[in-house]
Amino acid sequence: MTTTSRRYEPGDLIYESKPYIRVIQRDLWETSCSWCLKQDVELKRCSRCKMVRYCGVTCQKAAWKDHKLECPFLPRYTAGPDHFFVQMLASLILKTKVMTPLKNFQLKRKPWFSNYLKVTEIALKSYLGEENVPNEETLLQLIGKVECNYYSFGEGKSNIWALSIG
Ligand SMILES: [Zn+2]
Ligand SMILES: [Zn+2]
């Protein structure tokens, strides 16, 4: 927790940090820089996946640390109904393969959840391939972490540009 004796006005920047994971709305891949979200500028495609675009080398380099994990899979990505969430889970799965896993917590399953879990698992398998999707228990842990921690960026509920964690 952070405490301060300074007085802040609405709109003041108090704290800034890079999210652990951020995914960009599929509709924006063509028209925005996938790092700084700039639009109405000349964009160059990632030469490997040919799915996301950047406004320049600086943004492409900054994004590569995270993008290199999902880059090989993106051509297989299809935007289903829960695509935002699936993409975020996929990024988390790929990232926790190279990072220390986050601490697990106690989960209580609700009956409606098993259907949701099945749908999510199918979407993830078609995107990342079966070999990259963790077992059900781990997947449940990851879903819990995403559900509890994500925040959105955009204009209201209907026009979300990006989802982030951390
Ligand atoms: Zn940019
Ligand atoms: Zn790429």
Q: What is the pLDDT along the chain (166 residues), one digit of tens a residue?
A: 566 677 888 888 777 777 788 888 888 889 999 999 899 899 999 999 999 999 999 999 999 988 999 999 998 887 776 778 888 888 888 887 755 555 666 666 777 778 888 888 999 999 999 999 988 888 888 888 887 778 777 776 667 777 787 7
Asked if residue 72 lies in contact with residue 127, where contact means CB atoms within 8 angstroms, the answer is no
The separation between the first and the last C-alpha atoms of the chain, rounded to the nearest angstrom, is 15
Residue 88 lies in a domain: yes
How far apart, in whole angstroms, are the C-alpha atoms of residue 143 and residue 110? 13
Domain shared by 81 and 144, yes or no: yes
Ligand 1 center from residue 58 Cα (angstroms): 7
How many structural domains are present in the chain? 2
Residue 53 lies in a domain: yes
Domain shared by 137 and 83, yes or no: yes
Q: Domain range for residue 110?
A: 77-150
Domain shared by 83 and 47, yes or no: no
Q: Could you say which ligand is closest to the alpha carbon of residue 34?
A: 1
**In terms of pTM, does the model score above 0.75?**
no
Domain shared by 146 and 81, yes or no: yes
Ligand 2 center from residue 158 Cα (angstroms): 27
Ligand 1 center from residue 80 Cα (angstroms): 26
Q: Could you say which ligand is closest to the alpha carbon of residue 42?
A: 1
